[in-house]
Homo-oligomer: A and B are copies of this chain.
Amino acid sequence: MGTRDDAWLHSWIGSSDADHIRVAGRDLPSEVMGRLTLTQLSYLLVTHREPTAAQGRLVDAVLVSLADHGLTPSALASRLTYTGAPESIQGAVAAGLLGAGSVFLGPAGDTAHFLAETLALGGGEAELDHDELRAVAAAAVERRRAAGLRVPGLGHPVHKGGDPRTPRIYALAEAEGLLGQHLRLLATVAEMQALASGNDLPVNGAGAGAAALLDAGVPATAVRGMALIARTAGLVAHLVEEAESPIGMPLWLEIEERANDVADGGDEV
């Protein structure tokens, strides 16, 4: 065991033996505990660098913006799972996370990949000026529209007049000196999309959050995962509340009664 052939088993994330626990290449008790917040450790684990204070603050602002939105399908699924299996909190949290797919939360990851790929096509690492950014954004919007695809990060089913998180994220990024290419590109993409379609869709909170994470140094491949950490915090809170003020059980009883009434009166399909 432990031969050269086992190189594929190497993980930088963590390891432990009888006397030590290492996380992110650091001694957990002396170099992480009491020194890094959970957000800073999360950043370190996916970037292999500790965040600057400004980066850490911006990442926290994005994470808290994604943690919860009330009785969403995800929170309801979590609570209804708790109704059937209250002994298994991890199962109820898992059920809630499973709804964080292409419709909810997924868009944050989609936006991140879209922005990163668009910038890569537009010249890679180099800083783009205003006109270059407009050209790159217009081309990206055009490619999506030609392929019949929505532009990610824009529009919201509830916040039609504008997502209240978006201006706050831009302001915080500006204040931290982190308003970079990804946030600027996304704002420009929204402009170009409005010009091309005649339909003004403002940048949504998931999109702005994704762009801010990228400007804070988080890789696009980690954005969807970072959003899941935030969402877990919201789901855990719902379950603590559910144990005291159940919604799952009365919701079920009401739905069953209403469904039976429909069944009684309605035709069989």
Cα–Cα distance between A106 and B90 once the two chains are bound (Å): 9
A148 CB contacts on chain B under 8 angstroms: none
Q: Is there an interface contact between A91 and B89, defined as CB atoms closer than 8 Å?
A: no
A179 CB contacts on chain B under 8 angstroms: none
Q: Is there an interface contact between A11 and B85, defined as CB atoms closer than 8 Å?
A: no
Binds B, one of A116-124, A195-203, A217-225: A217-225
Task: Give A1-48 interface residues, CB cut-off 8 Å to B.
Answer: 1-3, 6-23, 25, 28-30, 32-34, 36-39, 41-42, 45-46, 48
Q: Which of A17, A19, A101 has the most CB of B within 10 A?
A: A101
Does chain B have a CB within 8 A of A72?
A: yes
Q: State the main secondary structure of chain A at its contact with B.
A: helix
A76 CB contacts on chain B under 8 angstroms: 76-77, 80, 251-252, 255
Q: Is there an interface contact between B234 and A14, defined as CB atoms closer than 8 Å?
A: yes
Q: Is there an interface contact between A106 and B77, defined as CB atoms closer than 8 Å?
A: no
A97 CB contacts on chain B under 8 angstroms: 90, 93-94, 97
Cα–Cα distance between A230 and B161 once the two chains are bound (Å): 35
Q: Is there an interface contact between B88 and A91, defined as CB atoms closer than 8 Å?
A: yes
Q: Is there an interface contact between A99 and B84, defined as CB atoms closer than 8 Å?
A: yes
Q: Is there an interface contact between B93 and A95, defined as CB atoms closer than 8 Å?
A: no
Q: Please tell me which one of the listed residues B25, B73, B94, B98 contacts residue A252 in the complex, with CB atoms under 8 A apart.
A: B73
Does chain B have a CB within 8 A of A241?
A: yes
A98 CB contacts on chain B under 8 angstroms: 81, 84-85, 88, 90-92, 94-95, 98
- How far does the Cβ of A156 sit from chain B's closest Cβ, in whole Å? 9
Assuming the contacts A21-B164, A85-B98, A233-B42, asked whether A269 and B12 have C-beta atoms less than 8 A apart, the reply is yes
A249 CB contacts on chain B under 8 angstroms: 73
Q: Is there an interface contact between B222 and A236, defined as CB atoms closer than 8 Å?
A: yes
Does chain B have a CB within 8 A of A128?
A: no
Does chain B have a CB within 8 A of A180?
A: no
